Chains A and B, each alone.
Chain A
């Protein structure tokens, strides 16, 4: 079953198993890039919410007056990008978080976070491609 195989591959990723695996930095209620677990932790109303790099499409920084904005775009259906196995198609009624935008007065930090996420994404895509090449 071609589809079943695809699904299994997709479901393999998981950010954390237990909440004691969160990096201590989540205490500050800011965005935390956790390289070790290929995850970005985003603060939503006081809750540290992990997003695995495989769900992230890209991150971008913009400026408006004194404020800097960091927008994180996630992979979701209907964007015309991403390979077929990037999405969990078993549930057509699933809702997706498509983007989250934060603002801060510390623009330099958002530049750093954007770079970290881009590098992590690049590494993840590279690793995935290497795995694919090995299988072929």
Chain B
């Protein structure tokens, strides 16, 4: 049996500095910062896919939205998986897919371009993902080399944003170590095509 509302504490939205309460109901989900502030809501009709992975604070539910947006909810416990899996299945007709990330520590694999993000796979397991909304620029930095620059708008020094409701372009800025650039080596003649794909 499920309650009308399933609630989880100490959850971080889109790498927010502050944690909050995450609530799931039949018509969608919401997140509210513990210290008060703007709430974030997501309608169930906008949920396309959901992934379960290890993240920084704990386990993460990542929701890929129908409108290509991405919502990251970090801080769940390993044992929350079954409860969440039921929530997504019963209420959102979505399978909470267990995405185990590669822990090998290798820097070679395959870059895959999805609808809303690029994924770097090592041995057919994701190593990391980059939402397109975070990318400000890409260019061919050299032969077989692609540089991806991240959106570090307004050059502000306020480390760590409260992610509530403004997930776009803010993830790179969220932590104390802000990712500004990533370079890939892509062999062969597909370089230009894939670079353009990445900007789409």
Contacts and interface: CB of A to CB of B under 8 A. Distances in A.
Given A95-B185, A97-B184, A29 B56 contact: yes
A101 B104 contact: no
B177 A93 contact: no
A25 to B, nearest CB: 10
A: interface residue count bin: 35 or more
A71 B110 CA distance: 22
B32 interface: no
A100 B106 contact: no
B105 A50 contact: yes
A31 interface: yes
A94 interface: yes
A52 to B, nearest CB: 3
A29 B176 contact: yes
B107 A76 contact: yes
B185 A30 contact: no
Interface residues of B, number: 50
Interface string B51-95: 001111100100000000000101000000000000000000000
Contacts of B172: 45
A102 B177 contact: yes
Nearest to B190: A93
A42 B179 CA distance: 9
B118 to A, nearest CB: 11
Given A45-B15, A98-B145, A66 B157 contact: yes
A98 B183 contact: yes
Nearest to A99: B183
Contact of B157 (A50, A69, A105): A105
Interface of B: 14-15, 53-57, 60, 72, 74, 101, 103-111, 120, 127-131, 134, 143-145, 152, 157, 159, 171-172, 174-188
B105 A100 contact: no
B106 to A, nearest CB: 6
Main SS class of interface, A:
mixed
A18 B101 CA distance: 10
Given A29-B174, A78-B143, A95-B186, A44 B179 contact: yes
Contact of A103 (B15, B74, B131, B178): B178
Nearest to A14: B104
Given A78-B144, A95-B111, A100-B181, A48 B56 contact: yes
A45 B178 contact: no
Contacts of A16: 103-105
Enumerate the 9 nearest inter-chain pairs by beta-carbon distance, A residue then B residue, closest first.
A15-B105, A52-B105, A16-B103, A96-B185, A29-B175, A44-B128, A19-B54, A55-B107, A98-B183
B130 to A, nearest CB: 6
Contacts of B130: 44-45
A21 B105 CA distance: 13
A13 B157 CA distance: 38
